[in-house]
Structure 1
């Protein structure tokens, strides 16, 4: 029993350390904390709409079926009318017509499937990445990203966010004495259809949906995990008492 408690305490300490550790993208670029909208169905529904309208022009989600969107409170009729292409059926996966070879020729790399992108990266990474685009005339697409330098993807949300440039400052590294480039902020060139606050909210909705899409049963798994741990705890208690009762008369 003492060994079990010690192991659980060690695991808890390790998880606490990992949760408290800061996560960074590019050097000197800390990730912004993404709002937790996992339980907000309105946010998830809006995120699904943004995903279909802006992301599925290039990216597929082949592990997700349109019918699964009903778990977000969206009716089948609404899915068919607003979130599906006319050639798709409700039971189809969220695939696209663009061929990987064409995508590679146009963008230099095939856009990845986004089914589990939120698990490959963190929610904070996606939130910062989608808000980190800026104009860069040296890139083939005319865009660059603060989190993913020299990314092939253009800013598909630029009409909502507007166009920005980025400012960098040079500083001397105290350890090496070398000049390093440090992010010093964005400069708005032209406004978008949304204010910066509304755009951040829309990106938070999109990230929330992508996180849900990566594991739709996450809430069920977590709830089930709590009950399993409680059961194992009760079982361990009775096993401990049974062991004590069995050996108490044996010397």
Structure 2
């Protein structure tokens, strides 16, 4: 092999290594890509939405790095999340990344009665909104089939969910969905959020394993601050199909949509 060819291979290898290092630093310090795999945050986030998570929003912990390898104790350069933020965090037990809405701050009491949220003993009012509709068919790469308030619905039929606009104490308003009035987590005990922890809920209230459910029972429980990864701010791309390359299923109206 000639010297020029060898030099070319070395330069190519160095370019690849540098590119991977830059991408790793960018992902660790600034933004992390995230695909929405489940329907727990409908209708704010749909299965197949692709977004970037702002990792600078709350500072950094060991979980800011892939595989939790950052040699950080607690959080550094941190700022407090706000009630109503849509947050990506590491599950305290299984190591997966979850995305939910921040409902309870340290020192709060949280309770759900008949599907209605109470924060520090005061109701978060819900106002009826238009019915949420989608096609009952497999969604996303996992082929998840949505649950419907008007079940039984056949494949290809219109799947409905009741939609309400909920307003949190700090004035943040967002939509929540209701499928049934008989789901176990529609009535909870009073949760007291300790210092350094947060309480999260999915907007699709009857289809979310969240802080209403203990880690031991498949939920996320009360999430320690060090497990927060970042704030979801904008949907960059969205596909309703099982493959990214199924361009006829792309949702153009969701491209670059702000997350509220």
Give me the TM-score of the superposition, normalised by structure 1.
0.27
Higher helix proportion (structure 1 or 2): 1
Give me the TM-score of the superposition, normalised by structure 2.
0.26
Q: Which has the larger radius of gyration?
A: 1
